[in-house]
Amino acid sequence: MSQGSCGPGRDDDSLISLPASANSHTLGILKMLSGKATATMTLRTPVRLNFAITLLVLLVVASCHINRRDSNTQSKSSDEAISWDAYVNQFLDEYFAAHPDFAVRAGRHEFDGKLPDWSSAGIKKEIDRLRAETARVRKFKDSDLDTRQEFERDYVMGVIDAELFWLESAEWPYRNPQFYADAIDPDVYVSRPYAPLDQRLRAYTGYVKAIPAALEQIRENLRTPLPKTYVQIGKTTFGGLVSFYEKNVPAVFASVKDEQLQKEFTEANTAAIKAMRELDAWFQSQQATATDNFAIGAGKFSEMLRRTEGVEVRLDELEGVGRRDLERNHLALREACATYAPGQTLAACVDKAEAHKPTGGSVEMAGKQLTELKAFIVEKNLVTIPGTEEALVAEAPAYRRWNFAYINIPGPYEKNLPSTYYIAPPDPSWSAQEKDAYLPGQANLLFTSAHEVWPGHFLQFLHANRAQSKFGQVFVGYAFAEGWAHYTEEMMWEAGLGNGDPETHIGQLLNAMLRNIRFLSAIGMHAGTMTVQQSEQMFREQGFQDVGTARQQAARGTFDPAYLNYTMGKLMIRKLREDWTATNGGKQAWQKFHDEFLKYGGPPIPLVRRAMLGEEKGSLF
C-alpha cells in the first residue's frame, strides 16, 4: 500500500488534558481514565471530564496522505484544497469560541478565564450551530477533495455527530453532572506553567468570576430527581473544588506581588467558594429523592456506539465479544496462578500479588517504573518515541480522586510544557482495610504506568501533537485514546516485559479484567439487565478488584456509559494489528504498525481501519 509522507515533523510538546483534545462528552472523564486509570487530555469524552476523564471521551483527525487510489486522484486544484482547508481552520476557530474551556486546555490562551454558555438557550444555539456545520461539511464531495481531505472530512463529520449525540440525543447537559466536569476544572491555570504566575492569576480570576453564573446554569439544567450515583459524583467533583479553591489555589498564587490583582482574586475566589458550597449543598439535598434511573437504554446505547465511535454491532454480539475476552483473561490468570500460587484459589493468588505493595508508595514507585518502561520500548523497538519529553508523577488533587490514576497532557498549541501522571490516594472516609486494599500491588501499578505514560497516553499524544493536520491534533477519540493505552498493557507483556514472571502477568491481567468488567457493566447497566450492585459484585468476583475500586467502577459506569471503550478499542486495535501485519511482516512489523496507527492522531478506529486496509475493511473484532 503506497503511503504519503507523514510522521513526526515538529518538536511540539504533548497534548491534552482527558481532557484537552477530546470530546468533552464522550471521557475527562476524560478526559479521564486506565486500569484504575484515565487520561486527562484534550480528549473530548462523553461526560466532559478529562476521561482529560473526565472525561469522559472523543476524536482526532487524520494527519497524513493515505494513498489507496491511483496517484492521479491524489491532488485536486489548489482552489479546491484551499476551500476545504480554510473550512477546517474556520471550524476550529468557531468551535473554540463556543467552547472556550476546551480552547484553553488546547493551549489557546486568548480564551483564558471564559466558560461556555450553558443556559438552555446557549445549548440550543450550539446544537443549531453544529447542525449547520453538518450541512456545510456535506457540501464537500469526494470529487472536490484529495484522499487526505476526504479522510479529514469524514472525521469532522464524526466529531460533529458525536457532539450532537451527547447534547441532543443523550441530553447530557440536563441529565449528567459530569458533563460539566472538565470545563469547571481550573487545573490548567493552577498547575500548567504556560505563562508567568501573574498572568495565570489574572486568567484564574476571570475564571472564578464566571463560576457563580455558570453554577447557576448547571443547577437550572439538571433535572431532578437525580440518580444516586450522579448525586455522589456531583458532590465529589463540585464539592471537592471547594477545598481546592480555599487551600491549594491561594498557596500557588501567594508569591504574586500585585496588590490590586490579589484583591480582585480574593474577592472573586471567595464568591466562587460560596457558589460552589451552595451547589454542593444542593447535591446533598438531592440524596433524599435520588433514584436508580440512570440507564440510557439499549437503543440509545447502540446509537452512542454508532455516532461516537463508528461501531455498528448488535449489542448481544458485542457483549459476546467482551465475555470471550474476559474468559481468555481468566484462563491466563489460572495459568499464571498455577505457577505463582499453586494450590490456592484465584482470589488468594491475586491477594498474594496485590500484597506486594510498591516500595516507597505508589507515586515514588511509578516514577521508577517510567524509566524501566521507556528503556524496554527502546530496547525492543516497539514504537517510535518522537521527542525527548518526559512525564512527571504527582498525587491527584482531592476533586479528581474518583478514579485511581490519570494523566494531564498540555494541548497542541502549547510549547515545552510538562505532562503530569496523577495517582489518587484512597478515600479518607474508607476503613483502614479498604484503604490498604485500594493501593495496587507493584505489578498492577506497573501496567497502570504503562497505560498512562510509556507507551500509553503520553506516547500517543507525542505522536498526535506532531500530526500534520491541526484538526488531527485537537480532537482525539475516546476509544482511540483509551483503546491504545489499554492495548499497550498487553502488548508490553507479549513483547517480554517481566521476562515471563507470573506476578507481573497477574498485574497485567488485573488491569485487563477490570476493563472487561467495565465493558460488560456498561452494556448491562444501560441496557437494563444489570444493577449497580450486580456490577459491583462482578468487579469483585470476576475482576478480582478490591471493595473500594469495585464501588468506584460500578458507579462510574452509570455516568460514563462509554467506558466500555477501553476494551472495545483494545480489541479493535488487536484485530487491526493482526490483519495488517499478516501481509506486512508479522510480529517483526509491530513497530511499523504502531507508528502507522498513531500517525492518524485519534479518529474513530473503524475510519483508521479503512485507511490502513482499504475499502475491504473486514471484521472490527
Closest CA to 89 of 104, 108, 76: 108
pTM, full prediction: 0.87
pLDDT, position 50: 38
pLDDT, position 616: 65
pLDDT, position 39: 42
- List, in order, residues 6 or more apart from 450 with CB less than 8 Å away: 373, 456, 488, 489, 492, 497
pLDDT, position 469: 84
Distance from C-alpha of 82 to C-alpha of 95, rounded to nearest angstrom: 20
pLDDT, position 403: 66
Q: For residue 530, give the 3-state DSSP assignment.
A: coil
Distance from C-alpha of 279 to C-alpha of 186, rounded to nearest angstrom: 17
Question: What stretches of 300-416 adopt beta strand conformation (E)?
Answer: 391-395, 405-408
Task: Give whole-number Cα distances, 282 to 162, 185, 226, 275, in Å.
Answer: 30, 19, 11, 11
Mean pLDDT per 10-residue run, the chain (621 residues)? 32 34 37 39 39 35 38 45 87 98 97 98 98 96 92 96 98 98 94 96 98 98 98 95 94 96 98 98 98 98 98 97 98 98 98 96 96 98 95 84 83 92 90 90 97 97 89 94 98 98 98 98 97 98 94 96 98 97 96 96 94 84 96
Q: For residue 43, give the 3-state DSSP assignment.
A: strand
Distance from C-alpha of 165 to C-alpha of 58, rounded to nearest angstrom: 12
Distance from C-alpha of 233 to C-alpha of 187, rounded to nearest angstrom: 18
